[in-house]
Structure 1
Amino acid sequence: MATRDMPKGLKPTIEFGPILIFFAAYYFGDLFVATGAIMITTLVALAIAYYYTRKLPAMPLVTAVVVTIFGGLTLYLNDETFIKMKPTIIYCIFTAILFGGLFLGKSFVRNLFDNFWNLDDAGWKKLTLRIAFFFLAMAIANEVIWRNVSTEMWVNIKVFGFTAASFIFFMAQVPLINRHSQDGESKTDP
C-alpha cells in the first residue's frame, strides 16, 4: 500500500496530543483517568501515524508499548507508581539503545534525523552521545521527582518541565549541528 500525505499540523498533534490529553484528563479527573486517556490516545496516535506512513515509527512504538504495559499495571493494581515510572523506563530504553548503537559503531540518531541534517561522522557521534546522556539525566530526574513531590507537582513537571527541558536541550545542539554540517546548511533548507 502507498503512503498518504499527512495533513499539515497532524504530526505535532500526534506527537504532543497524548501528553496534552493526559494533562487535561488529570485536571478534570485524576491520575487514573489520565492514565487511561494517555493509553488510548497513544495507541490512536500510533494508528494514525501508521495510516499515513504505512510503517510504525520506532520511538512512538516503544512509547506505546511501555505506556500500555505500565498504564495497564497502574489501572489493574490501582497503584500510580507504575505510570510515574513510565518516563524513567522509556528514557532508560532510549539511553540503552543509543549507547548500544555507539558501542556497535552505529548512530541511531543519524537514522532518525539524516533527512534533516547532513553531518559528518564525528557530528553524528557527538550528537548521539549528548542525546543518550540527556535521556539518562531525564530518567534520573524523573526518579528523583516522582519519589519526592506530590502527584500534582509531578504531573506539572512531567508535562511542562520535561517538555521545556527537551526543547532547551535540542536548541542547545544547534551549534554542534552547524559545526559538523557537511554542506553548511541542513537538508531541508532551500
Structure 2
Amino acid sequence: MADRTISPALKLGLELGPIVAFFVAYLKLRGEVVTIGGTGYDGFIVVTACFIPLIIASTLLLWRLTGHLSRMQVATLVLVVVFGGLSVWFNDDRFFKMKPTAIYLLFGGLLGLGLLRGQSWLQYVMEEALPLTQEGWMILTRRLCAFFFGLAVANELVWRTQTTDTWVWFKTFGLTAALFAFFLTQGRLFRDHEAPDASGKNTD
C-alpha cells in the first residue's frame, strides 16, 4: 500500500484520541466497580478493556488512510494489547501500568543496540523529518536513548509509589510533556548539526 498524506489534525486526532478518551473515561469511572459475570472490576480495568479495541481501531484507520505505520506505532500497539490484556484477564491494573516502562525500555534498548554497532537507528526512522549530519544523529540518539531509560525509571517510581489517579495524570500529561520538552531542548543540536543540502549549504 502506497504512503498517502492526510491532514496533520486528523493524524494527531487518531494518535492522541484514544489516550484522551482513556483519561476522560477514567475520570468518570474511577472509584466505580462494575460486576461482569460475577466478578467485580474497578473503573481502571473497565476503561483499559475499552481502550484496547479503541487504539486498535485508531491505529488500523491510520494505516488505512496513510498506508504506513512506523515501527514505534506497531510496537506500542502490540504492548498495549499484551499488557492491557493481561490487566483485564487477571483483573490487575499493575500490568497496564508497567506498559510505558516496557515501551521505553524497548525503544531505549533498540537505540542502545544500534549505538553499540556504531549506528543511529533513530536516523532510519526520523531522517526525513530532521535533516542532521551523521554526528548530529549519533548525539541525538545517545541523548534519546538515555532519556527513554530515564522515563522507564520515572514510570516505575510513580506507579509503584503513587495512587492510580496520580499515575493516570502522569501517564497522560507528564510523559507526553516530557517528550515534547526533550525535543524542544535540542534546538542547539539541530542548529549546530544541520545537514547541508544538495548545494553544500545548510538548509535554512
Quick check: TM above 0.5? yes
Structure 1 SS opposite 2:81: helix
Distance 2:169 2:187 in 1: 27
Deviates more, 1:130-139 or 1:13-22: 13-22
Q: Among 105, 108, 112, which residue is 1:92 paired with?
A: 105
Alignment-derived partner of residue 54 in structure 1: 67
- For residues 31-59 of structure 1, what are the alpha-carbon distances to aligned partners after superposition, in whole Å with 9 as ceiling and x for unaligned? 11221232122211220121123233210
Is the helix fraction higher in 1 or 2? 1
Opposite residue 16 of structure 1, the aligned amino acid is L
Shift of residue 185, structure 1, vs aligned partner: 3.5
1:96, distance to aligned residue in structure 2 (A): 0.6
Please say if residues 146 and 154 of structure 1, whose CA atoms lie closer than 8 Å, have aligned partners that are also in contact: yes
Shift of 1:164: 1.3
TM-score (norm: length of structure 2) = 0.86
Provide, for residues 70-118 of structure 1, a one-character-per-residue CA deviation record: whole Å limited to 9, x for no partner. Answer: 0000001000000000000000000111001111222121112211222
Q: Does the alignment pair 1:134 with 2:147?
A: yes
Aligned letter for 1:185? T
Whichever residue aligns with residue 28 of structure 1, its letter is K
Distance 1:153 1:38 in 2: 19
Contact 2:15/2:59 (8 A) holds in 1: no
1:101 aligns with 2:114: yes
Give 1 or 2 for the bigger CA radius of gyration: 2
- Cα deviation, residue 19, structure 1: 1.3
Please give the secondary structure, in 1, of the residue aligned with 2:69: coil
1:117 pairs with 122, 130, 133, which one? 130
CA RMSD of aligned residues (A): 1.5
* Gap regions ≥5 residues in structure 1: none
| 2:13 equivalent in structure 1 | 13
Distance in 1 (alpha carbons) for counterparts of 2:88 and 2:195: 49
CA distance 1:15–1:185, shift in 2 (3 Å): farther
Contact 1:178 1:185 in 2 (8 A): no
1:38 matched to 2:51? The reply is yes
Task: Give the number of aligned pairs.
Answer: 186
1:177 aligns with 2:195: no
Distance in 2, matches of 1:141 and 1:2, equals 39
Query: 1:22 is matched with which residue?
Result: 22
Does the residue aligned with 1:9 lie in a helix, a strand or coil? helix
Runs of 4+ in 1 over 4 A off after TM superposition: none
- What's 2:199 paired with? none
Task: Percent identity, please.
Answer: 38
Under a length normalisation based on structure 1, what TM-score does the superposition of the two structures give? 0.92
